[in-house]
Amino acid sequence: MKRLIPFLIRLLLGTVFVAAGALKALDPAAFANDVARYGMVPYPLVNLVALTLPWVELSAGALLVLGVWKRASALVIAGLNVVFLAAISVALVRGLEVCGCFGASVARKASPWSLVEDAVFLAAAAWLAWKSED
């Protein structure tokens, strides 16, 4: 039990991030539009973020699933979630119709639920980064 629960959390969190990263990576142009809509990145750098961020998500998620560099990958995922929480908060305050959370193919706009979702992911990732043994 003591080992099973962290393992399951690792598997779930990793899978979510692999999926989220892959969906964004599949359509970089659409994801770049979403990034631009948030208006948080200097305009010329929007594409650079849209090209790299999904692959960081994907890499960290995959490592977490595989159980390689568990604490470091959980730390990266926690960091990404802090960024996502900030971005979604801004979107909600400004009333933007954007999420981009799971790529543009899953059209969904940011809602307070997205914040809850990200907060749960953040808690899980932080806990893994803290507790896992390498």
Partner 1 sequence: MRRILCQALLIVVLGSAIGLVVNWFSPRRIPWLRPPKMKLAANDLISLEQATVLWKSGEAIFLDARPPTAYADGHIVGALSLPIESFDVFFPKVQPRLATDMMLVLYCDGEHCDDSHRLLLKLRALGYANTRVLVNGWTRWRSAKLPTVTGEQP
Quick one: which segment of 5-13, 51-59, 81-89, 110-118 binds partner 1 (CB under 8 A)? Answer: 51-59
44 sits near partner 1 (criterion: CB under 8 A): yes
Residue 122 binds to partner 1 (criterion: CB under 8 A)? no
| In 27-111, alpha helices (H) | 28-38, 46-66, 70-94
Cα separation, 134 vs 118, in Å, equals 25
Decide: is 107 part of the binding site for partner 1 (CB under 8 A). Answer: yes
Which residue in the set 1, 43, 93, 133 belongs to the binding site for partner 1 (CB under 8 A)?
Answer: 43
For residue 90, which phi and psi values (nearest 5 degrees)? -60, -45
The least distance separating partner 1 from the CB of residue 115, rounded to whole angstroms, comes to: 20
* Contact in structure between 10 and 127 (CB atoms under 8 Å): no
Q: Exposure of 10 by Cβ count < 10 A (0-12 exposed, 13-18 middle, 19+ buried)?
A: buried
* x-marked contacts with partner 1 along 55-94 as a string, rule CB under 8 A: xxxxxx--x-----x-xxx-xx--x---------------
State which of residues 13, 20, 23, 50 lies at the interface with partner 1 (CB under 8 A): 50
| C-alpha to C-alpha distance for 78 and 72, rounded to whole angstroms | 10
Other beta carbons within 10 angstroms of residue 120's beta carbon come to 12
Among 1, 3, 5, 134, binds partner 1 (CB under 8 A): 134
Q: Summarize as ranges the residues that interact with partner 1 (CB under 8 A).
A: 25-30, 32-33, 36-37, 39, 43-48, 50-60, 63, 69, 71-73, 75-76, 79, 96-98, 104-107, 129, 134
